[in-house]
Each structure stands twice: as structure tokens, then as C-alpha cells.
Chains A and B, each alone.
Chain A
């Protein structure tokens, strides 16, 4: 198993190097270079432009430039942003990556859980009334013009019903007027860490509980851990960061609508896929056997059919992830969520090349890691791969 993970990691690093190389040559394929922007400025003489070129590493042969580019990239030097001069690209990314990560993770999780569960139920009730309607709904969410959908969601939930804020990362008034010694990122990073800890605890409890001898005890153990984790969460925040709680809640409140909207993108596809995969599984002989020996419907559905139907769905998670990452860019733009996607877009439209490339590279890293995780998950779910590889 470790060998497999190692192999995949090495492969992904190679892919990333190829990707960076392609990016470099793409930049080179642009007509002229960045110093040409100052051509029409009479105050900047050719000598000064030459200095600029030297400082920006635009001199030397192509190969020298390439080596320099790669070296700088892997030592964390992504240059200085033009549009937010003199901030370093790396600092901007470090500030915004967690926000994108949170949006992406929560939306993926929500979309997958809801999509899988509803697809499972749909396949089970195949041929009943309303099937066409549900299929059409799934297709609608998969192919809906997403920016427009996001705008409609904002209009419904923020303006018409007024349940959620229309966008932004936090309530500016509240943060400006309050006396505080911490910034938004400090609060947000703590929130992310908390969620991560909770997730690890719950998953661990799930794994241990499933392995217990008695199913009733296992179930009790799982639920007990869930409740205890939640209590621990509240106690921890009250004890350690009491002054941050209202601000954390403020950010969480702003996070709800973008997450839900983004999760709709993945939801439709996963629902339809689960349904198709489940229908195929339900035709297998072992399902007939399970029913014939008198197992309750729920057990046949959840333990015999759904578990096997999960495999093909996990394979196609990859496609859904690509959708979600693309959708994330749009979500961040429409909701003014200051993450990587919004950074990428605003940098791109202001011709801020260093920031564009930096943001894009990190979105690509996010995609690569997500794929790696899916691969590992797939391996865990499919014993054939687990044993063989």
C-alpha cells in the first residue's frame, strides 16, 4: 500500500514538473516580454528597461531562464505581484489558499454524500413515479450555466429570503469596529484545524466501530465519539479562544451559501452516476442471493449493493473534482470570496502574470493532491487493488 502511494506521489511530482515546464514555455510563447509594457513611457529609457529585464530574470539563453525559473519556483520564490505591488506572490497565496481549500473540501464532501445517498435511493426505487423528474433535475444541476445559477442562488437566499449574506468573507463593519488582536486568517486557520481534527476523530471512530465484534456496541461507540467530539469542540473554543468565537461564527455564516451553491455542481453528476452504477450492481446474482436468504431490504441495499456500486463512482470522482475546481473559481468570483480562484481571475484580467501563474500552479497542486487522495480512497475501497498492489 505504501509502495503504491509512493509511486503515485512520484508520478504526480513528475506531472507537476511537466506542467511547470509547459507553463514556462507558454509564457515564452507570448509576444515580447513584460518590459515591453514600458515601451511607450518616455521616462523609462532603454537602459532602465535593460535593468528591469535583468532584475526580472529575462536575460540569458532560454535554457538559463528555464533553469532559473524552476529553481526559483521550487525555492518558493514566485516573484512579486504587479497588481498588488509590492506584495510577494507567495504571501498572497499563503493568505488565500486556506479559504479555497475550505470551500472546495466542504462542497466536495456535501456533494458526494448527498449525491451518493440520493442516487442509491433512486436506483432502489427504479420505475416508480417521478423518475423522469428526478433524472431531469440531476441533468439540470450537472449542465446548468453555473455563474447564472450562483447569481440566482444569491438572489433567492440573500435578497428574497434574506437568510444569508450576499457574498464576501466576513462582515466588514463588525471586524473594523471590534477591539481585537488577531486577524481574519488567524481565526480561519483555527477553524480549519478544528474541522480537520473533528473529521479525523469521527473517521477513526467509524473505522474502529466497524471492526468491533458486536454491531450494537460498534454503533454506540461511533455515536458516542461523535457526541463527545462535538462537546470537546465547544469546550475547547470556549476555553482557549473565547474572544474569537463570534468572529468564527461570522465567517462560518458567510461560508454557508457559497458551499451549498458549489456543491450543487458536483451533486447532479454523482447522483446520476451512483444511480447507473447501482442499477448495474442490483442485477448481480449475489443481490438475488441476499434477497433469497431473507435479508432485510435495507441491508441488501446498503451493505451488498451500495458498497459495490461505490467503486465506479469513486473512479469518476476525478471528473467531478475537475468540475468542482472550475466551479470554485466561478463561485469565488460571484460570491466575492477572496480565495485562489478570485485571485487567479483578477490577476488574469489585470495582466498580472506572476500572480496568475502562481495561483494557477497552486490550483493545479490542489487538483493533483485531490486526485492522489481519490486514488488512495479507491485502493482502500477495492480489495482487489489493495491486495494486489
Chain B
């Protein structure tokens, strides 16, 4: 970080420390933002994240105002458009919109006779003005589920990535600073975690214990934090801890904790932040996959939406019931992908080697 010298030293010293720090942070943020904007793919990712963020925010407001919770509640809402049809003898159906054959009617209620009327409820219902993305096999609004699940996805991603980055930054910095036995222990632990396949491990764990969303987020965070991310952040911390300003701080009388938390970690943080983006991607896809396999104890999420469709037998229905599979599947892909894109764009800012010539 370079400071412009348009202020005199006295003026700078007169300002309180936190103000200077804030200014520096703001300046480096603006610089980073300027180069981030140049990367159109990164901006696209950020736009998609913002869109989903808005959806997550809008959902409770919509439920409070426009949407009747009895119909639009993502978990217990119910609505099935009903049509009244007249029963006609088999083979004499002339207008399928208003008539139904006796055979089909008796599948629903065996004591019905010709001439009587039957109320047929359609679920899953195709998209209509009332339900923009149709309803699921249980008569619940798909759009509402989609928006509700966005919140869960964000929550999971943020918790998992915060835990990952917190652990990885601390472990990386500490093992880079102290070296020796601590370093060996944490690095071997990271190797061990990297070797064990992630998804099968989570499958086993969810078989043994009941997993909720928060447990899963913590689990992903802990495994990621002690695993690969720790190795990467350690190498970054190592390259910082040999720089002259660390020696200067030590000579000035800084204690070990002061050196680690005030000098090493702030310099590792940009890279930590980058890996936060990638761990959000991982967390979202892992949650969706585990939910799809029916292993999690969660009410509603994108993975659960597809799981429901698959349990009810709509998994291979193709385009006929597209609204059961496409919105949820695409959402997982888009949100996970856009965090990845933002991460890539940030990578180009933080790693000068990747910048354009």
C-alpha cells in the first residue's frame, strides 16, 4: 500500500490512527474496485449475486404484503387450481377441458356415475399468472420456494466461508510464524483432510448424525479451513513473515501475538477473502448435492426442491414439468458459478501475475 505524500507528516500524525486506517482501506478498496470493474465476467457474477440477494430480501416482504401465506408459504402453503368436469361414458370424451371419462373418474372415486361432476385439482400446476413458476407436486408455489431457499443458500455460504477463512487464516499465519512442530502438525492435518474424499465423508457423517443446515455449514467450514485453504494461506503468510517490516516490528518491541494479528494477518486477508468466494461456491454445491440425495434434515432448499421432484417421480419428465427441475437446478449453478466468477476476478487483482499485460 503506497501513501501519497500530499499531506505533511505532522498532519498525518495528528489524525487518529483508525481514521488513517479507514482512509487507507477505502483507498485500496477504490483501487481494487477500479480494476474489478474492468473485468466484465466478474461484474456479471456480482450482478447475479446481487439479483439473488434481492430475491432473498424480497421474499419476507412479499409474504407480508402481496402473497397470502396460506397459499404462498414455501413449506406449508397449498394451492391447486380446480376445474369442474362432467363425467361421460368411456371413449366419448369430446372436450377434454370440461369432460372426463368414467374410467379416469373412477380411479379417483370408484362410486362416481356418468353425468355427475368431478372437481379435478391440478398439481403440479403449470406456470400461470398466479404462480409464475407453477406449483410443485404438493401444491406449493415454486417461485416462493425458490426465493425462500435463496436465503438458506446465502446463510450457508456465508457461515461456511467465514468459518473456513477464520480457521484457515489463523492456522496458516500461526504455523507460518512459529514453524517447527506446530507447522508440521497443521500441515500434515491439512494433507490428511485433502486426501479424504469430501462428499463421501459428508454422506457417512450424515448417516451417523442428523445434519441441519447450520451443522453442515460448520462441518464444511471446519473441513475446508483445516484442509487445502490452510496450506495456501500458510504459503502466503510465510512469504510475508520474512519481509523486513516484520523484523522492524519485532525490533520495535512487538510481541508474538501483536506480530501475527497486527502485521501478518492483515496482509493475508486479501487472499483469505478471495478463498472465501471459492468456499461459498463449494458450500452451495455440496449442500445442494446432499439435499438432492435426501441426506439432510432441512425444510426447504434448492436441493430439496429437486429431491422432492425426484421422490414424486418427476425427475426424468424432461421439459413437460420443467418448472420442477430447471429453476432450482439453474439457481444452484448460477449462484455457485457467480461466486466463482467473482473469486476469479478478484484473483486477477490480488495476483499481479495474472493481470493483463
Q: Give chain B nearest CB distance to A298 CB in angstroms.
A: 24
B195 at the interface (CB under 8 A from A): yes
* Other-chain residue from A143, A280, A341 in contact with B340 (beta carbon distance below 8 A): A143
Q: How far is the CB of A351 from chain B (nearest CB, A)?
A: 7
CB of A144 within 8 A of CB of B204, answer no
Quick check: A326 and B197 within 8 Å, CB to CB? yes
Whether A136 contacts B201 in the complex (CB less than 8 A), given A148-B332, A319-B228, comes out as no
Contact: A364 with B197, CB < 8 Å?
yes
Are A151 and B337 touching (Cβ within 8 A)? Answer: no
**Distance (Å) between the CB of A341 and the closest chain B CB?**
7
Interface pair B316/A155, CB less than 8 Å apart: yes
B228 touches A136 (CB 8 A): no
Interface stretch among A230-238, A255-263, A355-363?
A355-363
Task: Tell me if B336 and A143 are in contact (CB < 8 A).
Answer: yes
Q: Pick the residue among B40, B206, B302, B325 that contacts A151 (CB under 8 A).
A: B325
What separation, in Å, do the CA atoms of A238 and B354 have in the docked complex? 55
Please state if B197 and A325 are interface contacts (CB–CB under 8 Å): yes
Q: Chain B interface: which of A84-92, A342-350, A377-385? A: A342-350
What 0/1 readout, one digit per residue, does chain A (362-374) give for beta carbons within 8 Å of chain B?
A: 0110011001000
Q: Do residues B209 and A30 form an inter-chain contact, with CB atoms below 8 A?
A: yes
The answer to whether A143 and B285 have CB atoms under 8 Å apart is yes
The distance from the CB of B73 to the nearest CB of chain A, in whole angstroms, is: 25
Chain B CB within 10 A, most for which of A145, A325, A351: A145
Smallest Cβ-Cβ distance to A23: which chain B residue: B204
Contact B196 A160 (CB under 8 A): no
User: Which residues of B have CB within 8 Å of A367?
Assistant: 195-197
Whether the pair B197, A18 counts as a contact (CB closer than 8 A) is no
Contact residue among B40, B329, B333 (Cβ-Cβ distance under 8 Å from A140): B333
Number of A-B contacts (CB under 8 A): 133
Across the interface, do B340 and A326 meet the contact criterion of CB distance under 8 Å?
Answer: no
Q: Does A198 contact B (CB under 8 A)?
A: no
Which residues 49-102 of A sit at the B interface, judged by CB distance below 8 A? none
> Cβ of A142 < 8 Å from any Cβ of B?
yes
Residues A145 and B336 in contact in the complex (CB < 8 Å), given A15-B192, A367-B196: yes
The yes or no answer to B226 lying at the interface (CB within 8 A) is no
A19 within 8 A of B: yes
- Does B281 lie at the interface of the complex (its beta carbon under 8 Å from any beta carbon of A)? yes
Contact of A280 among B197, B199, B353 (CB under 8 A): B353
Residues 291-316 of chain B, each 1 if its beta carbon lies under 8 Å from chain A, else 0: 01111000000100010000000011
Of A26, A143, A146, which is in contact with the most chain B CB atoms at under 10 Å from its CB? A143
Q: Is A163 an interface residue (CB 8 A)?
A: no
B265 beta carbon closer than 8 Å to chain A: no
B204 close to A348 (CB less than 8 A):
yes
B200 touches A329 (CB 8 A): yes
In the bound complex, residues from chain A placing their C-beta under 8 Å from that of B194 are 318, 322
A294 to B: closest C-beta gap in Å: 24
Closest to B192 in A: A15
Q: Mark B204-223, 1 if CB is under 8 A from A, else 0.
A: 11111100000000000000
Q: Is B41 an interface residue (CB 8 A)?
A: yes
Chain A residues positioned under 8 Å from B197 (CB to CB): 322, 325-326, 363-364, 367
Contacts of A322 in B (CB 8 A): 194, 197-198
Cβ of B122 within 8 Å of any chain A Cβ, yes or no, is no
Q: Which of B57-114 contact A (CB under 8 A)?
A: none
Q: Which residue of A is nearest B351, CB measured?
A: A276
Q: Are A132 and B40 in contact (CB under 8 A)?
A: yes
Please measure, in the bound complex, the distance between the C-alpha atom of A318 and the C-alpha atom of B232, giving whole angstroms: 14
Interface mask (B311-325 → A, CB under 8 Å = 1, otherwise 0) = 000011010000001
Residue B203 lies at the interface, judged by CB distance under 8 Å to chain A: yes
Task: Tell me, rounded to whole Å, the shortest Cβ–Cβ distance linking B223 to chain A.
Answer: 11
Residue from B293, B325, B328 with most neighbouring chain A CB atoms (10 Å): B293
Instruction: Find the A residue at minimum CB distance from B332.
Output: A145
* CA of A155 to CA of B198, assembled, Å: 28
Q: Does B288 contact A (CB under 8 A)?
A: yes
Looking at the assembled complex, report how far the CB atom of A144 sits from the nearest CB atom of chain B, in whole angstroms.
5
Bound complex: CA A247 to CA B35 (Å): 59
- Kindly state whether residue B341 has any CB partner on chain A within 8 Å: yes
Contact with B along A130-161 (1 / 0, CB 8 A): 00100110011011111111011011000110
Least Cβ–Cβ distance between A33 and chain B, in angstroms: 12
Does A27 have its Cβ within 8 Å of any Cβ on chain B?
yes
A333 located at the interface, meaning its Cβ lies under 8 Å from any Cβ of chain B in the complex: yes
Nearest B-chain residue to A283, judged by Cβ: B357
Q: Find B204's partner among A159, A160, A330, A360 (CB 8 Å cutoff).
A: A360
| Closest partner residue, chain B, to A360 (CB atom) | B204
Docked CA distance A201–B183 (Å) = 44
- With a 10 A CB-CB cut-off, give which of B191, B295, B337 has the most chain A CB atoms: B337
Q: Does A170 contact B (CB under 8 A)?
A: no
Do A143 and B337 have beta carbons less than 8 Å apart? yes
Task: Across the interface, name the chain B residue whose C-beta is closest to A26.
Answer: B208
Q: Which single residue of chain A is at the shortest CB-CB distance from B353?
A: A280
Chain A nearest CB, measured from B302 CB (Å): 8
A330 touches B344 (CB 8 A): no
Residue of A at shortest CB range from B45? A139
In Å, the complex CA distance between A280 and B357 comes to 11
Contacting pair A348 B285 (CB below 8 A): no
Decide if A326 touches B200 in the complex (CB within 8 Å).
yes
- For window 258-313 of A, CB contacts with B under 8 Å fall at 276, 280
Partner of B289, one of A19, A147, A160, A353: A147
Q: Which of A1-55 contact B (CB under 8 A)?
A: 12, 15, 18-19, 26-27, 29-30
Q: Please measure, in the bound complex, the distance between the C-alpha atom of A142 and the C-alpha atom of B281, giving whole angstroms.
A: 10
**Can you name the residue of chain B whose Cβ is closest to the Cβ of A341?**
B200
Which residues on the A side are within 8 Å of B329 (C-beta)?
145, 148-149, 151-152
**Quick one: which of B332-353 are within 8 Å of A by CB?**
332-333, 336-337, 340-341, 344, 353
Which of chain B's residues has its CB closest to A327's CB?
Answer: B199
Q: Which of B207, B293, B315 is in CB contact (< 8 Å) with A351?
A: B207
A-B contact pairs, 9 of them (CB 8 A): A19-B192, A139-B337, A143-B336, A143-B340, A146-B285, A159-B318, A345-B293, A353-B207, A360-B204
Q: Which 9 A-B pairs have the closest CB atoms?
A: A326-B199, A148-B329, A348-B207, A145-B332, A143-B337, A325-B197, A143-B336, A147-B292, A155-B318
In addition to A145-B329, A345-B203, 5 A-B residue pairs with Cβ atoms within 8 Å of each other are A19-B195, A26-B204, A143-B337, A325-B199, A364-B196
Interface residues of A (CB under 8 A from B): 12, 15, 18-19, 26-27, 29-30, 132, 135-136, 139-140, 142-149, 151-152, 154-155, 159-160, 166, 276, 280, 318-319, 322, 325-327, 329-330, 333, 341, 344-345, 347-349, 351, 353, 356-357, 359-360, 363-364, 367-368, 371
